[in-house]
Amino acid sequence: MDNFLKGAVFGAAVALVGAYLLGTDKGKETCKKVMNEVDKLKNEITSKIDETFSDSQQSNSEPEGI
């Protein structure tokens, strides 16, 4: 029963945050800002992954010392 109560409180908190972000003008603006930052972070991570993968491919294609 204790886990149920924790889950119910967590669910209520998530619902309140969601209602604020989607229900108020200030919340909608905050949501847009958060989504812009998430997009920037996603692009940065993707670039780093692509860069690492490219570097890995280059090091695998170069012949080792003979």
54 located within any domain: yes
21: Cβ contacts below 8 Å, ≥ 6 apart: 27, 28, 30, 31
pTM for this predicted structure: 0.53
65 located within any domain: no
* Total number of domains in the chain: 1
66 located within any domain: no
Q: What is the pLDDT of residue 58?
A: 73
**If pLDDT is split at 50, 70 and 90, which confidence band does 61 have?**
low
Residues 1-57 have pLDDT tens digits of 689 999 999 999 999 988 888 888 888 888 899 899 999 999 999 999 998 888 777
User: Which residues constitute the domain of residue 6?
Assistant: 2-60
Amino acid identity of residue 64, one-letter, is: E
Residues 27 and 20 sit within 8 Å (Cβ to Cβ): yes
